[in-house]
Amino acid sequence: LVKPSGSRLWNQAYRFGGKQKKLSHGAYPSVSLATARLLRDEARKLLASGVDPGANKKAAKLTAVISVNNTFGRIAEEYLQRIEDEGAAESTVKKNRWMLVDLAGPDLGTRPIADITPAEILVLLQRIERSGRRETARRLRSLVGTVFRLGVSTLRAENDPTHLLRGALKAPKVQHRAAITDEKQLGALLAIIDAYDGWPTLRSALQFTALTFARPGEVRGSTWAEIDLEGAIWRIDGARTKVRRPHDVPLSRQALDVLRDVKEIAPKSLLVFPSIRSNARPLSENAMNAALRRMGFTQDEMTAHGFRAAASSILNERGFRPDVIEAALGHQEQNEIRRAYNRASYWSERIELMQAWADCLDQLKRTHDEKTSGVGWMDQRSGLSGRHRPLPSVATSRGLRPSD
């Protein structure tokens, strides 16, 4: 077909379903006569098999457009936006974005999700695994699978190729957070925390973490709006908990005393444990662990998160009901009916448990103080190594880092 403009097109006339139709095979000379004849023959084969070649060509173009637009990267962004809209913690969104964009993005980001094969994903995961990050590789496989399942549910992918990769990666090496679970050593630790001469809010945060055995992030981000001093309850918003559900913590007399003391330090702050630099900012993520390091405890001895393990271990050894301890720790009960029942039925027992735990910590400190009365600082660790030195005062020390 030669148009008035001078352009020359290859057209093929055919009939399908009793109707006269036309199929274009491109422009000459970009499409040669030989190529046009091959395209014509392919169209005739489709007709012979009962397929409309014109409709088939349109479907192929649509599929190509969809494949280009529905890349893994675009669906990953859709997934990240979805969990953010559903109220996922900022840290969770940030970590997932790092894994999907920074780790998986260079390999999979621009690829049409429907075209990605299990082999491509395996190469990516094994490269991360060889670098020693086994747990990261395992989590990335799970997260990539989540993106694929979103693609499947929205008709942009046919299957989840990560399902075939189960068992392909080496099991990660489990590394538990360091914790002091020996009662004598814990008493020594608590005495050293009480004597800490650094930023007072930081000392109070450590004391409060020990008394409530809440997650450090929940303690750092706590606000006075969550605290009911009259009712002796700390109501942690579900958006701040690991399991994304509200968690109420009964407050012992000792925990209330810590809160009243810290309130005098920054009375106008909305945060319970504000940073040294600003009442509008919480303590930094590593503030409590950094304080433990300055006290002489290495990362292999104790962490702020270790108070949870200490409480769980000691309370179980002392015969408290495991279900009540798990509820106090805020661990997620998988059965929804049982979860609702436990939350209501264990409350009075949890009040008793939290007060018993606070009294236990006081007793451990008294026992330590009695045994170390008149003993020099270097030797008063009672079972802990003697390398710990007297804590420097705020005036003579280098001071806390700005982030603390």
pLDDT bin (cut points 50, 70, 90) of residue 394 is: very low
Cα angle, residue 45 at apex, residues 39 and 50 outer, rounded to 5°:
130
Tokens in use for 152? 């499947």
Secondary structure (H, E, C), 193-252: HHCCCCCHHHHHHHHHHHHHCCCHHHHHCCEHHHEECCCCEEEECHHHCCCCCCEEEECC
Inter-residue contact 391 to 203 (CB < 8 Å): no
Domain 72-165 of CATH type 1.10.10.10:
no
CB atoms inside a 10 Å sphere around CB 342: 17
pLDDT at 72: 94
Domain positions in the chain: 8-69, 72-165, 183-333+345-373
Find where tokens 């006075």 sit. Answer: 224
CA torsion 74→105→166→130, rounded to 10°? 180
Supply the pLDDT for residue 345.
59
Phi/psi at 291 (nearest 5 deg)?
A: -65, -40
Whole-number pLDDT of residue 399: 35
For the cut 60, the answer to whether the pLDDT of residue 384 exceeds it is no
pLDDT at 240: 79
pLDDT, residue 344, reads 56
Fold of 8-69: Double Stranded RNA Binding Domain (3.30.160)
Q: 3-class SS at 8?
A: strand
Residue 351 CA to residue 232 CA, distance in Å, equals 9
- 43-80 residues labelled b (16+ CB within 10 A) or e (exposed): beebeeeeebbbeebeeeeeeeeeeeebbbbbbbbebb
216-230, 241-255, 312-326: which range is least confident on average? 241-255
Q: How long a stretch of residues is the chain?
A: 404
- The per-residue pLDDT for 167 is 85
Between 123 and 280, the higher pLDDT residue: 123
The lowest-confidence range among 104-113, 145-154, 166-175, 197-206 is 166-175
- Domain 183-333+345-373 sits in CATH at 1.10.443.10
Confidence of residue 380 (pLDDT cuts 50, 70, 90): very low
- Dmax over CA atoms of the chain, in Å, equals 109
**Spatial separation of the C-alpha atoms in residues 239 and 246, rounded to whole Å:** 8
Q: What share of the chain is helix, strand, coil (3-state, %, to 5)?
A: 55, 10, 35
337 or 189, which is more confident: 189
pLDDT of residue 307: 93
Condensed to tens digits (0 to 9), the pLDDT of residues 324-357 reads 998 888 876 555 555 555 555 588 999 999 999 9
With cut-offs at 50, 70 and 90, classify the pLDDT of residue 383.
very low
When the pLDDT of each residue in the chain is averaged and rounded to a whole number, the result is 84
Beta bridge partners of 274: 282
Predicted confidence (pLDDT) at residue 308 exceeds the cutoff of 70: yes
| pLDDT band of 370, cuts 50, 70, 90 | confident
Q: Give the pLDDT confidence of 69-118 residue by residue, as tens digits.
A: 689 999 999 999 999 888 877 878 899 999 999 999 999 999 999 889 99
Alpha carbon distances (Å) from 338 to 74, 196, 241, 333: 39, 42, 19, 7
**What amino acid positions are annotated as catalytic residues?**
215, 242, 305, 308, 331, 341
Q: Report the run of H or E that residue 20 belongs to, with start and end.
A: strand 19-28
